[in-house]
Amino acid sequence: MRLSRYFLPILKETPKEAEIVSHRLMLRAGMIRQQAAGIYSFLPFGKRVLDRVCRIVREEQDRSGAIELLMPTIQPADLWRESGRYDDYGKEMLRIEDRHERDLLFGPTNEEMVTDIFRSYVRSYKDLPLNLYHIQWKFRDEVRPRFGVMRSREFLMKDAYSFDIDFERAKTAYDRMFVSYLRTFQRCGLKAIPMRADTGPIGGDLSHEFIILASTGESEVFCHRDYLDLHVPGEDVDFDDAAGLAEIVKSWTTPYAATDEMHDTAAWDGLPDDQKIAARGIEVGHIFHFGTKYSEPMKAVVTGPDGKDVPVHMGSYGIGPSRLLAAIIEASHDENGIIWPKSVAPFDVGLINMKPGDAACDAACDDLYRQLQAADLDVLYDDQDTRAGVKFASMDLIGLPLQVIVGPRGAKAGEAEVKVRATGKRDTLPLTAVVGRVL
């Protein structure tokens, strides 16, 4: 992509309304624009990162055996009356009336709708296990939308729903998602720590929030140091091996970790001080086993092996990709701007032409641009006629992992500089060696 033809509205001034660094950087790097309180457009640069994150989420959901569908954003109120949540949900739910005076709502989550889909088609235990997910916009009328897409009112959520014949199998479904989440966040360049979370009125201990440690996080969290070095399962993890999954989950839930609502001060005080991390955290994912909470009132039953009908055991599993963008920036930036982990970077390389109009410089850059694209890399080519200082500052701000810099003198000598954004390290290379270095 040539910068001269792209839409990247970079802001020079630091926006006053942004309280935290990720929000400031997302606005300055032309990623998002607020359209109303807590409602954002994703501008092209932001959209690219969102797509990269969703792709990782999708790949890891698919790998674990979950199946993608797409449910609508608008839901009929009647489904929520069946579960009893229409009245319970309160003011966070955006309620809508259509021209025929029918009650609708903008979905804050999809348990009811997916349960309706399930009960319409699935009759037998033989069709289980089943896990259906979608990636769809949600709306929650948050009391205090803030921090940009970190806590917005309209936000993207991946929500998965598992269906099983009994508790034990539902636990395996839970473990599958748990492991899938470990892999997902690791691939996004994040260290996410699963922490015991409140299950509310439903009880049981099967709920974990996945938390990124960050000083700007909204939750107070407590965990053991061991989490920083625990092994995340590789691609070859077997999602059909229930015992193996349970082992992994056990190793990831044994050291102490809890959010403030679940904090057990007695257990915490028993830990040696040098092993404790008391910090703030960002909730990027939440998994939950709720058994028959929806299947019972909504009559989602299957026939078991003994011929008897039983309500299906369910769990739900959420990740917020739009919030993840902000969390990734909170975890990976410096005073000059964003530092994208390679896996989610909107472009792989930024190519800087220091002197557009200089014949040697243009020729070298055009040639590198072609070569890098031929090597299957996404390149953002700064071919604009602006000052060197502006080019460097903008490229650092938007945080692409690698920069290739070509000036008139270098071009004549057949050389370019390659700069690693994260370390600031620069190397001068022959033009012919650039692609090999960047790959």
Which residues of this chain interact with ligand ATP, rule CB under 6 A? 140, 142, 151-152, 155, 157, 283-286, 318-320, 322-323
Which of 19, 198 has the CB closer to Mg ion?
198
Nearer to ligand ATP, 218 or 334 (CB): 218
Nearest distance from C-beta of residue 61 to ligand ATP, angstroms: 14
Alpha helices by DSSP H, 70-110? 77-83, 85-88
How many residues bind Mg ion (CB under 5 A)? The answer is 2
Asked if 97 and 91 count as a contact pair (C-beta separation under 8 A), the reply is no
Cβ partners under 8 Å of residue 388, min gap 6: 354
Joined tokens for residue 49 = 């990162």
Give Cα 35 distance to the centre of its chain: 22
Distance CA 129, CA 17 (A): 47
Residue number with CB closer to ligand ATP (150 or 379): 150
Cβ closer to ligand ATP: 122 or 279? 279
Output the smallest distance, CB 56 to ligand ATP, in A.
Answer: 14
Between 209 and 348, name the residue whose CB sits nearer to ligand ATP: 209
User: Amino acid identity, residue 373?
Assistant: Q
Q: Which does 155 bind (CB under 5 to 8 A by kind): Mg ion, ligand ATP, none?
A: ligand ATP
Place of tokens 């979370």: 197
Binding mask 264-283 vs Mg ion (x if CB under 5 A, - otherwise)?
-------------------x
Name the residue nearer to Mg ion (CB basis): 286 or 419.
286
The entry of ligand ATP, Mg ion, none near residue 170 (CB within 5 to 8 angstroms by kind) is: none
Q: Pick one of ligand ATP, Mg ion, none as the site partner of residue 285 (Cβ within 5 to 8 A by kind).
A: ligand ATP
The partner in contact with residue 291, picked from Mg ion, ligand ATP, none with C-beta cut-offs of 5 to 8 angstroms by kind, is none
Q: CB of residue 284 vs ligand ATP: minimum separation in angstroms? A: 5
103: β partners: 97
119: contact with Mg ion by CB under 5 A: no
The CB-of-71 to ligand ATP minimum distance in angstroms stands at 15
Q: Report, in Å, the least distance between residue 257 CB and Mg ion.
A: 15
C-beta neighbour count of 201 within 10 angstroms: 6
From CA 68, how far away is CA 94, in angstroms rounded? 25
Report the nearest approach of ligand ATP to the CB of residue 142 (Å).
5
Distance CA 37, CA 396 (A): 29
Instruction: Please give the single-letter amino acid code of residue 58.
Output: R
Comparison of 194 and 318: residue with beta carbon closer to ligand ATP: 318
Residue type, 217: G
Say if CB 222 and CB 193 are below 8 A apart: no
Q: What residue 353 binds from Mg ion, ligand ATP, none (CB within 5 to 8 A, per partner kind)?
A: none
Residue (95 or 225) nearer to ligand ATP, CB:
95
Closest residue to Mg ion, based on beta-carbon distance? 286
- Altogether, the residues listed in the chain come to a count of 439
Site track for Mg ion across 229-268, x = CB under 5 A: ----------------------------------------
What's the order of all strands across the beta sheet hosting 426-430? 379-382, 349-353, 402-406, 415-420, 426-430
Q: What is the DSSP letter of 262?
A: G
Cite the beta strand spans of 141-245 per DSSP E. Answer: 154-164, 192-196, 207-213, 219-224
Check if the beta carbon of residue 86 is closer than 8 Å to that of residue 199. no
Q: How far apart are CA 224 and CA 125, in angstroms?
A: 40
Nearer to ligand ATP, 31 or 319 (CB): 319
Smallest distance, Å, CB 147 to ligand ATP?
9
Q: How far is the CB of 56 from Mg ion (least distance, A)?
A: 20
Residue nearest to ligand ATP (CB): 320
Query: Choosing among ligand ATP, Mg ion, none, which partner's interface includes residue 134 (Cβ < 5 to 8 Å by kind)?
Result: none
Q: What residue 187 binds from Mg ion, ligand ATP, none (CB within 5 to 8 A, per partner kind)?
A: none
Q: What is the DSSP letter of 235?
A: T
- Nearest distance in Å: CB 12, ligand ATP: 28
Q: What residue type is assigned to position 328 of the chain?
A: I
Between the two ends of the chain, the Cα-to-Cα distance in Å is: 18
Alpha carbon distance 215, 235 (integer Å): 31
**Residue 267 Cβ, how far from ligand ATP at the closest point, in Å?**
23
Q: Which of residues 282-301 bind Mg ion (CB under 5 A)?
A: 283, 286
Which CB atom, from 283 or from 330, has the smaller least distance to Mg ion? 283
The contacts of residue 306 (CB under 8 Å, 6+ apart) are none
Interacting residues with Mg ion (CB under 5 A): 283, 286
